[in-house]
Amino acid sequence: AQSVSQHNHHVILSEAASLELGCNYSYGGTVNLFWYVQYPGQHLQLLLKYFSGDPLVKGIKGFEAEFIKSKFSFNLRKPSVQWSDTAEYFCAVRQGSGTYKYIFGTGTRLKVLA
């Protein structure tokens, strides 16, 4: 069965610090990869997604993620975080064919100190 691991459960950073959140998945075939964000009191929304092509994808609000197939990873990065980035971040994987089931990780709670 597919699974998604997010190893950092809680991260606390000061403003302007760099961010990298880890995401690893277990599935050997073609995958589609996503990062979602849930700001306090709001619903989940898409940050970025990878389907094919350039493994470095850019999303909203200065976030980017890099797909490394050999490592089954899709880490999220941002060079300089802001207080408004305080939120919970979820990595998700969907098989590239056959099923459209999205499997989510357990999430990473990010707190940015002003």
Residue from 8, 11, 22, 49 in contact with another protein (CB under 8 A): 49
Q: How far is it, in rounded angstroms, from Cα 95 to Cα 78?
A: 26
9: contact with another protein by CB under 8 A:
yes
Residue from 65, 74, 75, 105 in contact with another protein (CB under 8 A): 105
Q: Which residues ranging from 52 to 91 are in contact with another protein (CB under 8 A)?
A: 90
Comparing CB distances to another protein, the nearer of 75 and 107 is 107
Q: What is the 3-state secondary structure (H, E, C) of 17-84?
A: CCEEECCEEECCCCEEEEEEEECCCCCCEEEEEECCCCCEEECHHHCEEEEEHHHCEEEEEECCCCHH
Q: For residue 109, how far is the Cα from the chain centroid?
A: 12
Residues touching another protein: how many (CB under 8 A)?
Answer: 25
Is the Cβ–Cβ distance between 6 and 104 less than 8 Å? Answer: no
Candidates 17-25, 42-50, 63-71, 75-83 — which segment interacts with another protein by CB under 8 A?
Answer: 42-50
Binding site for another protein (CB under 8 A): 6, 9, 32, 34, 36, 43-46, 49, 51, 90, 92, 94, 96-97, 99-107
